[in-house]
Structure 1
Amino acid sequence: MADHYKISTKSNSLPAHGELSVLFAGEGKPFPNHQIGPSVHNYYLVHTVLSGRGVFEIDGLRYECSRGDTFFIFPDVLFSYTADAQEPWSYRWVAFKGHMAESLLLTMGITPLNPVIHSDNLRPLRELYRRMKDTLETAPYPELADLEASGLLRILLKEYGVCNAGKLAFNSLTIVPDIERQIKQAVRWLSFQYAQQISIEDLSRKLGYHRTHLSKMFKQVTGVSPMQFLLKVRMERARELLLGQHHLSIDQIASSVGYLDALYFSKQFRKTYGLAPSEYRLRHRQSLQAQQQEKGQSHL
């Protein structure tokens, strides 16, 4: 590309709809002052700076990044990043999505308010980025590449957590209050049990705290209330089911994400995504058909 000294990226041809899936991975060295954004993505995008420097801005906050820094871009959060005029950075990146992505990053203390971590040892990070890209590029079975790439991504996330050990939201050391360990358990429970009928009273009884205290501590640690967190998990899963290959009915999707009332589910979905579930699915299909028609015309 004309705005990079070098750039190489590889996309996942068959990304899965589930807990965690790599969308694409790559590496590059842009020209001085090269800027991306201000923009918004609908997926997570992570860059690890290998050399040089630049500026990363997210949600109104500004960070000067250099070798060893990793910065995180979050879905639906405004960001931009710019290479330095004198020492433009080089970096590797990976994009991913999945209904477990948010809670996994939250576990490691990585949020839009804490979007940059640092590592003095880039070797394991560099190697994992390389292996993910190679997997997407050379896998003999593309349908299995996502499985391997997502496994490597989980290891990479673990490395991020090691780098960010001093800021872990759910540090396992004994000095961490019991309530934070319980919040970690609550996050995991909500992330896996979203299809069940869940109330804050049930969660409070399970953890042994008064609902008011639990809600306060949950929001202090995660930034949202338990029910807001549950709603986000459910809506992301519902979206995946709507766009998946199973062709489930709206009633079936509502039931699959914990709603007995499909009408109430549709109202919640509209509040989240701006469209009723059926309209959202139709728009997506129309968009895919338009893309296929464009591709067909381009080959004529």
Structure 2
Amino acid sequence: MAEDKFRRSFKMPFHNTLGLAVYNCGIQRCGPGHAWGPALRDHFLIHCITKGKGTFTFNGQSRQLATGDGFLVVPDRIVTYQANTEDPWEYCWVGFNGSDAKRWILQTGISEEEPVFHFGENHEIPDALQEICNTSASLPGDEARMQARLLLFLAALMDQYGSVASVHTEGYEYVQKAVHFIECNYSRDIGIDMVAASAGISRSHLYRLFMDHISISPNEYLTRHRIQKAVALLETGRFSVGEVAYSTGFSDQLYFSRVFKKYQGVPPSQYLSKERTKKEEQ
């Protein structure tokens, strides 16, 4: 495979339970024929082509793209993109996730069914994207600045292509109520029936709304939120695995260990040991 001629990128921790967060961003000048895929992402990803040509393949169809074009990759859909062999493209990109990410994308007018867009001579869109990439992420406030610039980038897309359709946001207030209940009560022994009751709708209705608006089930959201909180507690190095389990709503420590390993790749005891070693070395 041809080597990239140039690449500058940055990656943040995965924050699926936040409203909206930058996951990665970068600027790349690809080598001839450089390709990614066929594969899928677990987050939204938008590319803006600033020079050259390439091919984007999605939903069984291929599009020849060039300078002034852009494309959206949605989670859990197989795509391929490849630089032209004679005039390989350069692009900038931003990946993002969060419970509000799908709602924002719907408002841009760019969709899974039609993920290609053309910004042409409108430099506001690629410039806004590159502003995200230009944030150094070396200061405490940089994550907030990246999020703010992501919103400005999405706003630029909305200005050119989007229209806010009520059909896309219908029922979102129930999702917000459920998310708020989870974030306030995750440490308790709560189930999805309680979450649905807090929002004033049935369990099955809540499931449909979660899948429509944030593409994961309520139970998956609750589990991810608990594991994210568990990671934060373990990183302090001040609590035992059992204390962390009970503090994040897991009454069974063995079950907690299995779930933690599923999401983090290692058991909590190993994660805790690593964090304590880090602190001893500092």
| Percent identity between the two aligned chains | 22
Corresponding residue for residue 116 of structure 1: 115
- Alpha-carbon distance in structure 2 between the residues aligned to 1:220 and 1:187: 14
Q: Is the 8 A contact 1:28 1:90 kept in 2?
A: yes
Corresponding residue for residue 8 of structure 2: 9
- Alpha-carbon distance in structure 2 between the residues aligned to 1:123 and 1:187: 39
Corresponding residue for residue 245 of structure 2: 254
Corresponding residue for residue 28 of structure 1: 28
Q: Is the 8 A contact 2:74 2:112 kept in 1?
A: no
- Alpha-carbon distance in structure 2 between the residues aligned to 1:186 and 1:117: 33
- With 109-118 and 23-32 compared, the bigger mean Cα shift is at 109-118
1:229 to partner: Cα distance: 2.5
- Alpha-carbon distance in structure 1 between the residues aligned to 2:21 and 2:205: 35
- Alpha-carbon distance in structure 1 between the residues aligned to 2:161 and 2:276: 41
TM-score, length of structure 1 as denominator length: 0.65
Corresponding residue for residue 297 of structure 1: none
- Alpha-carbon distance in structure 1 between the residues aligned to 2:246 and 2:252: 8
For the aligned residues, what is the CA RMSD? 4.4
Change (3 A) 1:39 1:245: farther
Change (3 A) 1:81 1:163: same
- Alpha-carbon distance in structure 2 between the residues aligned to 1:112 and 1:284: 41
- Alpha-carbon distance in structure 1 between the residues aligned to 2:168 and 2:35: 40
Question: Aligned to 1:251, what secondary structure does the other structure show?
Answer: helix
- Alpha-carbon distance in structure 2 between the residues aligned to 1:162 and 1:188: 29
Corresponding residue for residue 217 of structure 2: 225
Question: Aligned to 2:98, what secondary structure does the other structure show?
Answer: helix
Q: Is the 8 A contact 1:254 1:260 kept in 2?
A: yes
- Alpha-carbon distance in structure 1 between the residues aligned to 2:127 and 2:73: 19
- Alpha-carbon distance in structure 1 between the residues aligned to 2:182 and 2:51: 37
Match of 1:181 among 156, 167, 172: 172
Question: Aligned to 1:50, what secondary structure does the other structure show?
Answer: strand
- With 45-54 and 83-92 compared, the bigger mean Cα shift is at 45-54
Q: Count residues in correspondence.
A: 269
Instruction: Give runs of aligned pairs for residues 3-152 of structure 1, distance below 5 A.
Output: 3-4=3-4, 7-9=6-8, 11=10, 19=18, 22=22, 25-37=25-37, 46-56=46-56, 64=63, 66=65, 67-72=68-73, 80-95=80-95, 101-109=97-105, 116=115, 118=117, 120=119, 122-136=122-136, 142-152=139-149
Change (3 A) 1:115 1:172: closer
Question: Aligned to 2:32, what secondary structure does the other structure show?
Answer: coil
Question: Aligned to 1:108, what secondary structure does the other structure show?
Answer: helix
Letter matched to residue 276 of structure 1: P
- Alpha-carbon distance in structure 2 between the residues aligned to 1:35 and 1:77: 16
- Alpha-carbon distance in structure 2 between the residues aligned to 1:150 and 1:176: 22
Verify: 1:204 aligned to 2:196, yes or no.
yes
- Alpha-carbon distance in structure 2 between the residues aligned to 1:79 and 1:239: 31
- With 117-126 and 198-207 compared, the bigger mean Cα shift is at 117-126
Change (3 A) 1:132 1:267: same
Q: Is the 8 A contact 1:27 1:93 kept in 2?
A: yes
- With 83-92 and 111-120 compared, the bigger mean Cα shift is at 111-120
Change (3 A) 1:270 1:226: same
* Structure 1: gaps spanning 5 or more residues: 293-300
Q: Is the 8 A contact 1:53 1:89 kept in 2?
A: yes
1:9 to partner: Cα distance: 1.7
Change (3 A) 1:211 1:27: closer
- Alpha-carbon distance in structure 1 between the residues aligned to 2:42 and 2:214: 20
1:227 to partner: Cα distance: 1.0
